[in-house]
Structure 1
């Protein structure tokens, strides 16, 4: 704000408060110190949060936000969307400060070919070459092109400014002959301190990976499963195996190493449940952890067959047999104990009828078999087919009397 007098006329132009003095003569008043941003403007990794200040005590700062100037709240942080700040300060009985403009410039890099990289700036630059760049505010920066992970750097042969915002760098080497690596363009200020860097980009070739080793032919492992109080699972060693994985359904897996001698491998399974079906799977791996052999076998341990209720009923010359179900049975074998070749297999249902039998006494047996042909249940019942009643004799013929052809004398 300027000095207030009775001749002062006030108006606004472009969002700023303007004043003119209509009195005659020249009036000189002190000017408010310019607005200074923190951090300093220049080349940055990204647009930072900016604080504004002036050295004039009690001054009010205004900054452009969109199309108008708004009052800055002391201590607040602002982040301009376009990377540029425009601000001025006012104070009573002083002339407004000059409008200060500051640009925060970011840089990106893109690969044009194996020997050319283009760097592009968010704000126009004064000049750019292979040695460095100078921004519009006069600040200069040098740069190099190190590997993003360190340990390697690329030399720059030359640089050409191709537009107000871009510089094309020619590398000192053709990177098509080197292994691929990620690089950045890194900038340093005039004091040699880090200022900013571009995005990372890839240069070099990717070597063709070697063909994978062919998968070995998988052999079959034969398993021997038996029971002697505990269940044992045995198999012969597989040539070239480094270790084996044995898995039991519901029990998890265990790893067994290849023994130093030629003995069979054995796994003892003591924690089993009767009548439960288990599947043992053994997989052999070589030193590269490739599968070279595998085998699988299912089993069930039966302590004693379950007692079954069998009912046999005679019906004329037939015997109808029924029995109760055994949950793990795959088939039921029904026999007449004293009749050769009388056994039948029943897979569906819990009944069978023997027909056309002679009279006599019979013992009917039923065996429940699982899929391993183990007897998991058994029962029997006796039944008698009685002799049928004999057919009645025909009545004697009527007496015809004496024959007329026979003489009585």
Structure 2
């Protein structure tokens, strides 16, 4: 029998899909997403401080897009407004899933991490503002040290805490999800300078059609993608930051399919499916490219680094992340546990919460975006804020590593002792 000439092509195509699936599975891992984020940031810093820094700035400033739609934007702006919309779409899916079917669906269970998230937003903003009361426009960046980077923080936890209780990861995830929701609200309310009502109202039309389609479990990209792009374009034209469009689209996707729509065979909604599909794009493409095009700051050697970190803006960011985040989270957690019926999970000790509170000082993607919105991309204030975000995040990661490593040893020994006891009882 003579093989069909199409068969090798089919095998090659099938092999390509298998390899693509493997790559996607790798990119869904928290450690990989965090590693790509850091590699992109380090590459940007090295490039911006190398003899080829001119090429880096030319790349950031390259303009692309239709001028008729006012979308002739630089690549740096496309990464912040466009690619991060994918990141916020995934964040919106995760937020809705947590509110509908996750830890946030039970108010009693969610009360402690929600309060911790609120405290972890308020106190860093207060400390930053106190540091920058002297004027000079620095106070505009009050929201920079407020958000925890989910990918980065969970990646650090996954690497250093293999024996830590699962409740610790759940607490951190819930805190970071609420944290992101608050950051999204801050961006929408405080960083919308000029609001055009007509495009914003017009965006409701494709958003409603997108919602209707996903509620009916439509998955066809040629239907959903034009609607999603239309929402993004109109929100961008309205003056509201375009990443908010990603959140709105994420919230529109159903988490659970209604029995009324699906009958007895009703199953999960599309949120889990879309999150599974888009997380690799967010973690492996959107966020690293944004980091590459946003964190490249010309430091100017040790003297320039010292000057950047001595700026009140940078001091406020570092103090907010390293001091404000842990204290705000711990204070809010203690107050809720002390004066309400809400309690910590039985598997957690207060020293675990201390380590987690320090870990929550890791901020990256959203903080860089807020810095650009507050001061304008490429300005000295924004550059100093970026240096401070990196410095503060590294200090928080190092401090959390020390605390949680020690706790990891305690839980590992306890686990080993339990296994030994079980073996002893089994042999008896």
Which structure exhibits the higher relative contact order, with contacts defined as CA atoms closer than 8 Å and separated by 6 or more residues?
2
The structure with more helix, counted as a fraction of residues: 2
The structure with more strand, counted as a fraction of residues: 1
Q: Which has the larger radius of gyration?
A: 1
Task: Classify the TM-score, shorter chain.
Answer: under 0.3
TM score, norm. by length of structure 1: 0.16
TM score, norm. by length of structure 2: 0.15
